[in-house]
Amino acid sequence: MATELAIAQGFQTLFRAMSEFEVGDVVINDDTLYDGEAINCPYVIIYTASDFELTPASSRTNSTMTIPVMHVEVFTTWSETYSNLRNTRQAIIDEVFTAGGMSANGLSGVMVTRIFNLSEIEGLSYEGGDGLTSPIYLQQSYGIEVQQF
């Protein structure tokens, strides 16, 4: 059975191969991307699963887990940023269900059963010198549910 780290690395490899991302823009458990230049977006941060279930080996499915993925887009205008988020999100979904073979980059014994939102679309903001709040990023967290056999 594949480890959770192997599954996360499979998704990382899959997403890094997408034209939407640079190699350093897809990381595992590393929030330091927020410290970099916003212009380098979009980013994907793959986190450790907090939702998992293990069943006895006699069962067909040995485990189910949800891999959290944070998708971050730089804010330009509301319309453009929402469009960028929607388009990149669809590209991620398409990549998992087509190029990834409904797996974590073709990882044997791992099947993606669904992708769903874990959060609403959220803005990350800063307070400018004029006291007004201006967004830097829009982000949304997704869950990629996988079953291992």
pLDDT of 128: 56
Q: What CATH code is carried by the domain that includes residue 48?
A: 3.30.2000.30
Give one DSSP letter per residue of 8-23, joined into a string: HHHHHHHHHTSTT--G
In the chain, what is the straight-line distance between the N-terminal and C-terminal CA atoms, in Å?
Answer: 7
Domain count, the chain: 1
Record the pTM: 0.88
Q: Give the residue numbers spanning the domain of 37.
A: 4-148
Side-chain half-sphere CA neighbours of 135 within 13 A: 16
DSSP-derived 3-state class of residue 69: strand
pLDDT of 43: 95
Query: Mean pLDDT per 10-residue run, the chain (149 residues)?
Result: 91 95 94 84 94 69 89 92 96 90 86 94 71 79 92
Nearest to 149 by CA among 58, 83, 69, 78: 58
